[in-house]
Amino acid sequence: DTEVTQTPKHLVMGMTNKKSLKCEQHMGHRAMYWYKQKAKKPPELMFVYSYEKLSINESVPSRFSPECPNSSLLNLHLHALQPEDSALYLCASSQEGRSADTQYFGPGTRLTVL
Amino acid sequence: DAKTTQPNSMESNEEEPVHLPCNHSTISGTDYIHWYRQLPSQGPEYVIHGLTSNVNNRMASLAIAEDRKSSTLILHRATLRDAAVYYCILRDRGNYQLIWGAGTKLIIKP
């Protein structure tokens, strides 16, 4: 099974809402990633978890809060977002995060902030 | 910082080979070259990667120039299902960061 699942597929939220995105993998991977992708642009790395510890936070605003409850799950908590945060949010995982490792991506959550 | 340069788009006929170029003149000795593709409404999908030698797998071949300043992804017989945005990516050893190119939109004509 080489699948990364993400829920929900689509999310519409107001600027005062609190919501969460969920990501799950059962490949035994120890590195998990959140990316943000705007239309017609490549994905931008937001966060990396390695062995359930936050390893990289690419200067992401605090209105985005990641959480890794266990080695298979990754959440992204959203609060007080802005319309410019509307984008496709992608989760990925890899064996350990080494430079030759393949990253497996989920289908993404399409987020719209009104 | 290393970066990659790719053509914005390319067209090819179905069942013909496709050569997708990528320039990475500032590549360092420890950077791996990865290629991913993204089909419409999907997440990116791994295609192939290499360091110095040419590589083949069931999806594609990767030809790496001797000086490593450029590489070419080769799809041997393109089908309509290969229509996607293809990203050429560098990844430094010991670094989680993928340095993504802008991507080439591949259009396959039946």
Is residue A66 less than 8 Å (CB to CB) from chain B? no
Reduced to 3 states (helix: H, G, I; strand: E, B; else coil), residue B47 is strand
Nearest CA distance, B91 vs chain A (angstrom): 6
- The whole-angstrom separation of Cα A106 and Cα A46 is 15
**Cβ burial, residue B29 (10 Å; 0-12/13-18/19+):** exposed
Nearest Cα to Cα of residue B2 among B68, B61, B66: B68
Enumerate residue ranges in chain A where pLDDT < 50. Answer: none
Enumerate residue ranges in chain B where pLDDT < 50. Answer: none
The model's pLDDT over A33-43, given as tens digits with 9 standing for 90+, comes to 999 999 999 99
Which chain A residues touch B31 with a CB distance below 8 Å? 99
Q: Would you state the pLDDT for residue A101?
A: 82
